[in-house]
Structures are given as C-alpha cells and as structure tokens.
C-alpha cells in the first residue's frame, strides 16, 4: 500500500441534491446528460460515473473517444455515451460498433460515418451540431441543405439522435443579445430539418447556465457539467438564483468534491527568519508552521502563495510563503495541540468551517472549472455518503 499525498472524496448526498435541484428547474421530462469530460471535471470518471448512475443518470457526455472508452469501462448500466469533441476517423469503427453517440459538425465526418456504418453493420448514432454564432464547431446554415439531403438518403446507416448547438457564454448576462440570436438561428435551422421530413430524436442546446436560468433553452435534453458538481456557472446565474429563492436558503447547489491530506511536518521558526524559498515570507514573530504535502504539481494553485487557506482542527489557517511543487507551509502558531498527521482540508468542510472551490477563484467563476478539471487523475477518489 503506497499512499498518495492526498485524497479526494465525492459526496453522494451532494450529487443527489444537485441533480434534484437541476431537475426542479428543468421539469420531469428532459434528459440530463451528465458532462464528464476532463475526468469528470477532476472528480474522476471511474468513481463519478457509477455514482451518477446510482442517482439515476443514463446519459454521459465527453470530449474524446479516449474519455468515451473510460465511461464505457466505468459504467454499470446501459447508459448512453456521447462524444462532443474531437473524434479521429481511425476511432469511428470502435465508436459505431459500441453504439456511442457523437457530434457531427462537418460534411466530411458525415460521409465517413456512413462508410464506416456500412462496414461495421450498425447505424452511426449522430447529433448534428449546428453553427448558430459560437464560431467554434457547428455546421453552417449554408451547408444545411446538402447535409439534410445526404442524411435523408442514408437513414439506413444513420440514426439522427439529436440536433444541437452550444451557446457562446450564456452564463453571463452581458452576452444575452448574442445568445438570443443563437436561439433564433437554431429554431430556424431546426425547422428546415423537420420541414425536409427528418425528425431527430432529441433537441438539446442548454449547458448548466441554460438549464438553471433560461427555460427557453431547455428542450429534450440538457448537457450539464458545472452545476451537477455543485458549482455555479457564474455570479450572474448565482445572483438570479438568490433573487428567486431568497426565502429558501436550503434549496441550492452543494459542492460534491472535497480534497484532504495530513500534516507532514511541524517546524518552529524564529522571528525574522524566512519561510521556504526566497524571501516570500518573513516570520513577524516566533512562529510554528505545518508543512502540507501538496503543491502545484498536485494541482494546487501556485497563485495561492501567501494567500490561500486550509482547515486544520476546523480553523482556517493561512498559507505562509510560496506554494512549491510538492509542499507548502501554513501558520499554526495560534492552534493548540497540532500534531504531525492531523487532518488537513484543502477543499471542503471541517467542524462547520468550509473552504469552497469558489474561494480559490473569487471574482472569476470560470476559473472554478479550470482549477478542478486540472486535479491530477492520480489522486485517489472515494465516494462518501
Ligand atoms: C462542457 C460542455 C457543456 C457543459 O457545460 P457546463 O457549463 O459545465 O454545464 C455542455 N455542452 C458542451 C458542448 C460542452 O462542451
């Protein structure tokens, strides 16, 4: 048993709460596709996928065929898997054989899909992603007629599982003009598809922010990452929630992930001495510091040097000096009875105090996802009730 320097816990109760919360916003009939790209936003695909299935999820979305394979390995039900991102043509035979759904946003991928479906002897399960103004991926309006004609001709080899688009920053209220234009263009393009006599199984456009705050974007399915993990997509969406729920503080999202380690070492430092590398921190009094076995190499942010906090004995203790590759130091001078191996909470709760992911990234919620999605896959994950 060689132990890792830290561990991540996933709260089943928090995930259940978040899915109920999302459900209460979108209504009963809409499918929730659980977005588990980037190793389930750092939560760990192998532990998160079965947990989400326990909570009723039967559809997962990923960003590559590598991630699709991880979900196929991890799932415990017949849950569907959908690739929203890159798909190398070499992987198409595997993808079609395993009945994995995927986005199609150019004509070339559509033609290849039919070729491979014929070879494999199964239908390719495609979601036509439409360009509505995000200018990332998506099939342009001027290519729609050609695409519709091709799909109609090849319905023996193609299952049109969905028609979809992705909004360019719907979590920010200042983008709403652009989002409305995207919504309108999506409706127009969708009508052109159905007018041509093709009926897709599902329409889907909403990510977390759409699902939580913009009912007109909630269709047959929503693709939810951020919110299921208990994070707010942006201050705007959190503020809309507060305005609606001011009398019901219990009805909110809960963070699924906690991150814990133990004190590695304790050190007494005399006034005037520097702590750690360089002159980042000079002891202003006789101090006692705890060495924490975590650094930027473990996904902790170096920008928390002289800035972040951890919980020890339920108390917030500040980081002193810089965050190194594999250690940083915290000030425990005012804490009594601190010992080597005492528990340290990097993210999460202890005795009623809490350190949220948001507290690392105050003022820029987009960074929440950046921070958690980079947590190394090597850190062991454990589900707790
Ligand atoms: C990542 C992603 C989502 C999920 O977005 P959240 O804001 O995390 O819910 C949905 N759709 C697409 C296409 C994505 O790439």
Residue 315 belongs to a domain with what CATH number?
2.40.37.10
- pLDDT of 361 reads 67
Tally of structural domains, the chain: 2
* Residues 142 and 218 both lie in one domain: yes
Phi and psi torsions of 345, nearest 5°: -100, 115
* Residues 232 and 120 both lie in one domain: yes
Average model confidence (pLDDT) for the chain? 95
- Segment 226-246, tens digit of pLDDT: 999 999 999 899 999 999 887
The region of weakest confidence among 25-39, 54-68, 205-219, 351-365 is: 351-365
Active site residues: 37, 277
- pLDDT of 113 reads 98
Query: Measured from the CB, is residue 233 less than 6 Å from ligand 1?
Result: yes
Q: What is the crossing angle of helices 144-153 and 107-120, to 10°?
A: 10
* Residues 190 and 228 both lie in one domain: yes
> Tokens 């759904």 identify what position?
101
* Residues 348 and 200 both lie in one domain: no
Q: CATH number for the domain including 25?
A: 3.20.20.10
| pLDDT, average across residues 284-303 | 95
Q: Which domain holds residue 284?
A: 257-355
Q: Say if residue 169 is exposed, middle or buried (CB neighbours under 10 Å; 0-12, 13-18, 19+).
A: middle
Residue whose CA lies nearest to ligand 1 atom number 6: 225
| pLDDT, average across residues 317-324 | 96
* Residues 88 and 172 both lie in one domain: yes
pLDDT surpasses 60 at 363: no
Of all residues in the chain, the percent with pLDDT exceeding 70 is 98
> Of 32, 35, 36, 37, nearest to 19 (Cα)?
32
Query: Measured from the CB, is residue 234 less than 6 Å from ligand 1?
Result: no
Q: Which atom of ligand 1 is nearest to the CA of 226?
A: 8
- pLDDT of 232 reads 93
Q: Say if residue 319 is exposed, middle or buried (CB neighbours under 10 Å; 0-12, 13-18, 19+).
A: buried
> Tokens 């009508």 identify what position?
191
Q: How far apart are CA 324 and CA 297, in angstroms?
A: 8
Pairing of strands 309-312, 315-320: antiparallel
| pLDDT, average across residues 108-120 | 97
The verdict on residue 117 lying in a domain is: yes
What is the Å distance from ligand 1's center to 267 Cα? 45
Q: What is the crossing angle of helices 65-74 and 45-54, to 10°?
A: 60
Query: Measured from the CB, is residue 210 less than 6 Å from ligand 1?
Result: no
| pLDDT, average across residues 1-23 | 96
pLDDT surpasses 70 at 348: yes
The verdict on residue 292 lying in a domain is: yes
**C-alpha to C-alpha distances, 348 to 34, 214, 246, nearest whole angstrom:** 22, 30, 24
Q: Say if residue 85 is exposed, middle or buried (CB neighbours under 10 Å; 0-12, 13-18, 19+).
A: middle
pLDDT surpasses 80 at 364: no
pTM of the shown model: 0.96
Query: Measured from the CB, is residue 125 less than 6 Å from ligand 1?
Result: no
- pLDDT of 357 reads 87
- pLDDT of 123 reads 98
What is the Å distance from ligand 1's center to 305 Cα? 31
* Residues 236 and 294 both lie in one domain: no
* Residues 183 and 325 both lie in one domain: no
* Residues 207 and 268 both lie in one domain: no
- pLDDT of 366 reads 60
Angle subtended at Cα 197 by Cα 191 and Cα 198, rounded to the nearest 5 degrees: 80
Q: Are 30 and 218 in contact (CB under 8 A)?
A: yes
- pLDDT of 129 reads 98
* Residues 315 and 210 both lie in one domain: no
- pLDDT of 365 reads 61
- pLDDT of 188 reads 98
* Residues 279 and 224 both lie in one domain: no
What would the two tokens of residue 255 be?
A: 């963070």
């Amino acid at each position: 048993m060689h132990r890792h320097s830290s561990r991540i816990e996933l709260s089943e109760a928090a995930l259940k709460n978040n899915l109920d919360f999302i459900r209460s916003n979108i209504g009963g009939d809409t499918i929730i596709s659980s977005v588990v790209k980037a190793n389930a936003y750092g939560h760990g695909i192998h532990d998160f996928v079965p947990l989400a299935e326990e909570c009723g999820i039967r559809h997962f979305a990923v960003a590559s065929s590598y991630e699709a394979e991880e979900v196929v390995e991890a799932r415990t039900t017949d849950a569907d898997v959908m690739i929203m991102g890159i798909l190398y043509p070499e992987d198409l035979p595997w993808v079609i054989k395993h009945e994995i759904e995927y986005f199609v946003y150019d004509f070339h991928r559509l033609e290849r899909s039919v070729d491979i479906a014929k070879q494999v002897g199964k239908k390719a399960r495609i979601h036509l992603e439409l360009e509505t103004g995000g200018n990332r991926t998506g099939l342009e309006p001027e290519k729609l007629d050609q695409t519709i004609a091709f799909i109609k001709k090849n319905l023996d080899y193609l299952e049109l599982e969905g028609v979809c688009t992705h909004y360019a920053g719907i979590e920010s209220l200042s983008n709403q003009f652009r989002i409305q234009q995207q919504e309108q263009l999506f409706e127009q393009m969708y009508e052109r598809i159905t007018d041509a006599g093709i009926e897709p199984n599902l329409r889907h456009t909403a990510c977390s922010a759409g699902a939580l705050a913009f009912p007109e974007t909630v269709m047959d399915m929503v693709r939810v990452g951020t919110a299921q993990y208990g994070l707010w997509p942006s201050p705007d969406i959190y503020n809309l929630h507060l305005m609606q729920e001011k009398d019901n503080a219990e009805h909110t999202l809960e963070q699924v992930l906690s991150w814990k380690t133990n004190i590695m070492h304790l050190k007494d430092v005399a006034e005037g001495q520097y702590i750690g590398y360089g002159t980042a921190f000079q002891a202003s009094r006789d101090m006692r510091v705890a060495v924490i076995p975590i650094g930027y190499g473990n996904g902790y942010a170096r920008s928390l040097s002289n800035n972040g906090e951890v919980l020890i004995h339920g108390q917030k203790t500040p980081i002193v000096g810089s965050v190194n590759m594999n250690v940083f130091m915290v000030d425990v001078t005012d804490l009594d009875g601190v010992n080597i191996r005492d528990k340290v909470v990097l993210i999460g709760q202890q005795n009623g105090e809490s350190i949220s992911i948001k507290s690392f990234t105050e003022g820029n919620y987009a960074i929440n996802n950046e921070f958690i999605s980079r947590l190394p896959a090597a850190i062991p994950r454990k589900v707790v009730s």
